């Protein structure tokens, strides 16, 4: 394991970390976690046993990635954002058999202090604004904000807001990369060059 692990971090025996991962102060990675290459875990991050994390994932300070969460490649988890895995928790009721799986697809951004309620899929390159509470699936390239999170626009792969309506038929270019995106109804796709 070619990873940089701070002396205060705990990586349980059995955890798999890809090469060039960085594990900072007071991180705990559980034995069953499977983690790709070039990931970064900020101070006070927890990673559960039934967690799959792709490559080049950045998890900022104070994030707990609980069981039943999958993060694909290039996902960004902002500081203090929250995952859940039980929809209706009670301290006196054991519900481990009722965990709802959460999937965050490639390139998605989860802003600081947002909450992702279990059982949803966050689409590829979607962008969840800071403080939003996600209770439903988020489409690819969608920008969602608020409590509960509502769809207000579209983002490029580069993280730039696209000048497109929420629904309809239109095309737009990313102001940074020049890539062209097409809106068809309530879905956006990246057009081939």
Tell me how many degrees the CA angle 94-30-76 measures, rounded to the nearest 5.
100
Beta-bridge partner residues of 47: 29, 65
pLDDT confidence of residue 2: 86
Closest CA to 72 of 109, 41, 98: 109
**Has this prediction a pTM greater than 0.85?**
yes
Tokens of 191: 């057009």
CA distance 128 to 114: 7
Length of the chain: 193
Residue 114 is predicted with a pLDDT of 98
What is the predicted pLDDT for the residue at 102?
98
State which residues of the chain have pLDDT below 50: none
Q: Please count the other Cβ atoms lying within 10 Å of the Cβ belonging to residue 79.
A: 15
């Amino acid at each position: 394991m070619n990873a940089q692990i701070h002396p205060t971090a705990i990586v349980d025996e059995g955890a798999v970390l890809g090469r060039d991962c960085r594990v900072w102060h007071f991180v705990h990675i559980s034995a069953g976690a499977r983690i790709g290459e070039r990931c970064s875990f900020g101070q006070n991050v927890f990673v559960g046993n039934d967690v799959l994390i792709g490559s080049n994932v950045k998890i900022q300070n104070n994030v707990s990635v609980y069981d039943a969460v999958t993060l694909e490649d290039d996902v960004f988890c902002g500081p203090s954002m929250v995952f859940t895995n039980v929809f209706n928790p009670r301290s006196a009721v054991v519900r481990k058999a009722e965990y709802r799986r959460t999937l965050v697809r490639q390139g998605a951004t989860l802003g600081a202090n947002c909450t992702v309620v279990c059982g949803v899929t966050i689409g590829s390159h979607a962008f969840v604004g800071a403080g939003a509470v996600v209770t439903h699936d988020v489409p690819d390239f969608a920008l969602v904000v608020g409590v509960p999170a509502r769809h207000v626009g579209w983002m490029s792969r580069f993280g730039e807001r696209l000048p497109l309506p929420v629904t309809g038929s239109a095309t737009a270019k990313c102001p940074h990369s020049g890539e062209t995106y097409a809106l068809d109804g309530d879905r956006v796709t990246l057009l081939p060059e």
